[in-house]
Every structure is written in C-alpha cells, then in structure tokens.
C-alpha cells in the first residue's frame, strides 16, 4: 500500500490589473524612447518600469 503525499494548497498569485499593465507598458515605452529607441532592451525596460511603479526602484550610484 502506498502512502498519499501530503497535499499543499496552491500558491495564490495576484494577477496584474489591466490598469497596472497599461501603466507599465507606457513607462516601459518611455524608457525605450529615453534610451534612444535601441532594440534589445525590452525586458530590461519592462522590469525597470515595474520596479519604478511599485516603488521598489533601486538607487544606483554613479
């Protein structure tokens, strides 16, 4: 007889609201334009926009 493994509740993930996604999209596009519209940085721009909008932007020393 095999023992049933303990079942755990699934993780709950709060989905982004449509407004949040649109706001992130607009900010990511602004970052793209500010960066000289250089291709290849779309994910970097998206994640930076999410960080900025969530108030968790990191301060980078220059």
User: pLDDT tens digits for 11-40?
Assistant: 555 555 677 999 999 999 999 999 999 999
Torsion 54-14-21-35 (CA) sign: positive
Residue 24 and residue 53 in contact, taking contact as beta carbons nearer than 8 Å? yes
Residue 7: pLDDT band with limits 50, 70, 90: confident
Whole-prediction pTM value? 0.62
């Amino acid at each position: 007889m095999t023992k049933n493994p303990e079942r755990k509740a699934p993780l709950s993930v709060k989905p982004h609201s449509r407004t949040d996604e649109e706001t992130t999209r607009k900010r990511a596009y602004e970052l793209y334009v500010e960066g000289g519209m250089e291709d290849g940085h779309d994910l970097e721009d998206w994640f930076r926009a999410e960080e900025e909008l969530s108030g968790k932007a990191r301060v980078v020393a220059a």
